[in-house]
Amino acid sequence: MNDTMKTCYQQLNTFVDHYLDALRLVLEEKNDLELTEHAVSSFEAFCEIREEAPNYQRNYEFFVDRFTELCHNNSDTNKTKFRCLGLRGHHALIRKTANDELQNDVWKHMDKIVPSIVFNMEVREQDRQSIPLAVESRNVEKIILT
């Protein structure tokens, strides 16, 4: 998906809604870490592209909700990885809307985004007190601070 978007970015406005629909379908698969990683990476790549005519009607609500779910993941095996992916998704979305002059759209969702970030900061602090930091925990801090 990344390759398609990167090679066709000049015609992005013609297929972007279909591209985002495909990402939605992939992100609906909640327990597949590998698929989720690819979808978040693709979303990040999409968010880096500056559109000539941003679509003010585009709805990012699904992505906000899904990234929020990821930030609060309690999976026994991969919760830290899923949580980092959620933070990366929120980070990309905020950067996209700020760059595309859609700031008002992202402000509607801050009541979900900010608690997700704070939750992960609190979890990281608890982890720091109870066990040595894992590499994934460092990623949380890096994402939050950038």
Q: What is the mean pLDDT of each run of 10 residues along the chain (146 residues)?
A: 64 76 91 94 86 63 94 90 95 80 70 92 68 52 56
Query: Left, alpha or beta for 51 (phi > 0: left; psi -120 to 50: alpha)?
Result: beta
Enclosing domain of residue 23: 2-145
- Here the tokens at position 59 are 């709805």
Pairwise CA distance, residues 20 & 47, whole Å:
11
The answer for residues whose C-beta is within 8 angstroms of residue 102's C-beta and 6 or more apart is 54, 56, 58, 96
Q: Which residue has 């801050």 as its token pair?
A: 110
CB 110 within 8 A of CB 90: no
Whether 93 and 67 have beta carbons less than 8 Å apart is answered as yes
State CA 20 to chain mean position distance.
13
pLDDT for 133 equals 47
Look at the chain and report how many structural domains it folds into: 1
The pLDDT of residue 114 is 92
If we measure between CA atoms, which residue out of 135, 51, 140, 32 comes closest to residue 90?
140
